Structure 1
Amino acid sequence: MDRFVLTDAQWAKMEPLCLGKKTDRGRSGQDNRLFIEAVLWIARTGSPWRDLPTYFGRWNSVYSRYSDWMKAGVFKRLFEAVSDEADMEYAMIDGTVVRV
């Protein structure tokens, strides 16, 4: 994959908060940035985990890792790390749900 959704500046803020770094005890992740990109792909597309493209890795491994990170509260910390500069580029209101 040659194009990332995350900018290098966003990744620099997130990287120290990720689990599975070389300095962490236990197993370490192969590529945390690619894993985050996989989770963002699922969130953007709304696709089921089984439809995750193969360049992100095996879908069940990515899901298992996602589940572990959710239980550990990692995504909350990552969101807080990058939310100081909110990008409203993709914010929109769907008129089919707004009741007048």
Structure 2
Amino acid sequence: MINAILWKLRTGAPWRDLPERYGPWKTAHERLRIWTADGTWERILDDVIVKDDAVGNVEWTFSIDSSSVRAHQHSAGARKKGAAPLGGSKPSPSTEKPSDGPVAG
């Protein structure tokens, strides 16, 4: 599983492109998420650094992407014209149709 995570971090490819030889991409992603949250990933990297420093001539390469992309207004989940409001909320008084009064029956 560590090889799968390292492949993803090294290539920067989407998780779904993880080669089959590393197993299911969802498993690798979930494992990294859990290990990052509980500090396991930090301990793994610390151990690797200590062992690599013992060998000597260690080169660490970091790639950081700081791009920012603004999403189109329709991608933000705005209601489409004529669509019912989410959650079954009632229309406000200003948008209700006027009533013709009681219906005789």
TM-score (norm 1): 0.51
Which protein is bigger by CA-based radius of gyration? 2
Equivalent residue in structure 1 for 2:28, among 62, 67, 71:
62
* Count of aligned pairs between the two proteins: 57
Runs of at least 4 residues of structure 1 off by over 6 A? none
Distance between the aligned counterparts of 1:39 and 1:69, measured in 2? 11
Q: Where does structure 2 lack aligned partners over 5 or more consecutive residues?
A: 63-105
Distance between the aligned counterparts of 2:61 and 2:26, measured in 1? 30
Alignment of 1:1-100 (within 5 A): 35-84=1-50, 85=53, 87-88=58-59, 91=61
CA RMSD of aligned residues (A): 1.9
Please give the secondary structure, in 1, of the residue aligned with 2:13: coil
TM-score (norm 2): 0.49
**Residues 74, 50 of structure 1: alpha-carbon distance in 2 compared, 3 angstrom cutoff:** same
Q: Relative contact order: is structure 1 or structure 2 higher (C-alpha 8 Å, sep ≥ 6)?
A: 1
Please give the secondary structure, in 2, of the residue aligned with 1:64: helix
Q: Where does structure 1 lack aligned partners over 5 or more consecutive residues?
A: 1-34, 93-100
